[in-house]
Amino acid sequence: MNKLDKKWQLKIICLLMAIVLWFFIINEQNPMSEGSYTVPIVVENLDSQYITSNVPKTVYVRLSGPRNTIINVGPSDIKAYIDLSDAQEGEMSAPVRIEIPAGTELKKQSMTSADIMVDVYTVRELALTPHLVGQTKNDIFVSSLKVVPEKVVISGARRLVKQVEQAVVEIPIEDRIDDFSIMAPIRLVAADGSRVEGLEMTPWQSNIRISIGHNAVTKDIPVYVTTEGDVSSSVSLKEIKINPNTVAVKGDANILKNLSRIDLPPIDISGLKQDKKWKIIVSPVNGVIFEPDTIEVAVDVE
């Protein structure tokens, strides 16, 4: 080997050593590091007719990368999303996707999928049903009742909207002897009297104006109910029971003398396949109150 070849070999060796040394220095000055982040999850590509529930709010993410890169990464630099372009009404499991900054590596993700509910967005208008809470004195009755506004608009998941049987405003009447006004919250109830949660209401409360009458008279009258629709073809209607089947009505004598029965709002039994119960609140009308004002209707099939 001549001197020229040796000289080139030394140059190549020096170059390789310089490169190794450069990588060593760089790694010492900018070593690999990790960062942990809590990232908000967004829903993308959801058809406007749908709304979602049970979507997780955040996901925990851990990234690795050069220290100079990691220290400049924040939660806003990471994107966590659920793509619902193929969503349909009902429960579904959807992947939680993560997009990370260039030069980083995803080391951990607290959840890779989420079980969410997709519902059709529905709007419905309901008349408000006043519900007197408490007992009036023997000679006291509600001579007039004004609800402002008289209706409420509810919106949200169709499966919840369909559960709502009545929109009720509760009015404390115990020991009242004079006219009064009250702002009462609106409560959405199902057929069985349970509360329906998770819907938007406009408005969420109503102004109630009550006029109190004196020298009330009382009598008992029977309760009747009619049905709408037909039960499922797989069953037959067996019996309709009303409890109580008579109620005490209290009010002005001139009004009561023309009142011989109370007819509940029709109940819808369309497609009914099994026994069902309704709890129906009867509003005070025309200067007459009902005690009790909640009637249970049971429909039995066979």
DSSP one-letter string for 245-302:
SEEEEEE-HHHHTT---EEPPPEE-TT--S-EEEEEEPPPBTTEEEES-EEEEEEEE-
Residues 182 and 232 in one domain: yes
pLDDT of residue 139: 83
Q: Is residue 188 part of a domain?
A: yes
Residues 82 and 215 in one domain: no
Q: Which two tokens stand for residue 12?
A: 């190549």
Q: Is residue 13 part of a domain?
A: no
Is the pLDDT at 27 greater than 90? The verdict is no
Least confident of 15-19, 34-38, 104-108: 15-19
Q: Which two tokens stand for residue 190?
A: 């199902």
Q: Which domain holds residue 277?
A: 120-301
Residues 297 and 267: beta-carbon distance below 8 Å: yes
Domain of 288, CATH number, reads 2.170.120.40
Tens digit of pLDDT for each residue in 92-119? Answer: 999 999 999 998 999 999 999 999 999 9
Tens digit of pLDDT for each residue in 199-236? Answer: 999 999 999 999 888 888 888 999 999 888 988 889 88
Residues 92 and 149 in one domain: no
Q: Is residue 178 part of a domain?
A: yes
Domain of 95, CATH number, reads 2.170.120.30
Q: State the CB neighbour count (10 A cutoff) for residue 250.
A: 23
